[in-house]
Structure formats: C-alpha cells, structure tokens
Amino acid sequence: MRIHKPHETQLSEKGAVLETKKLRLHPATVHAEIEGNAVRLKTSYAASVTLFLGRTMIDWEKPVVVSANGKVVSSRKLTPALEFMLEEARISGRRDRVYAAALQIALR
C-alpha cells in the first residue's frame, strides 16, 4: 500500500490518501487514512501490510502512529533514506512518486 499526497491540481481530495487494495486471490482488504502523523488502517483477512511514505506526507521530527482496526500496532519515529528513495525509483520505474520510507506492519 502506497500512501501519497494529492497532487496540487487535485486539492479537492479529502486529506492525503490513499489506495484501497482488494486482492483477487485472497479475500484481504485494506483501507488506509492519514491525518498528520497518524495512519488508520481498516483491514480484514490481511496478515501484514507495508506502508510506503512520501517525503512530504509526515512530519519526520515526530513519531508515526499506525493503528489497525482501532488498535495501535506501531508508534515510532522514521528517518527518510536517500538510498531507499533511489532503489524504490529504480524498481518501480516511476520518478513522479518516490517514497522516502517503508514501514512493515504485522497485523496478526
């Protein structure tokens, strides 16, 4: 799941968000919302997720608090990594949306 900030021309989008993924092979669903440094996940049948965060998505001086289905599952300060950004851009082939950090979240 890659969380991104709305593009400047689409500022009518509510908050900064998100992608909702529904997998075809498994009945897992994940919906995410972000407000400040708080990420709220609503999941069903998902064992884990990886959150990709962009450079302007959060305040890097404060911890990121992730809650899943109402329970806090992670609360820690992240550091943007240039190496990660370059590797992500190389792998994805996308230069318009580069992520500064990834956070692995175990849900079970």
**Mean pLDDT score, 41-64:** 90
44: buried, middle or exposed (CB in 10 Å: 19+, 13-18, 0-12)?
Answer: exposed
Looking at per-residue pLDDT, the higher value among 22 and 91 belongs to 91
**Mean pLDDT score, 15-43:** 76
Query: How many helices (H) and strands (E) are present in the chain, helices listed first?
Result: 1, 7
pTM for this prediction: 0.68
**Sequence ranges of the domains in the chain:** 8-106
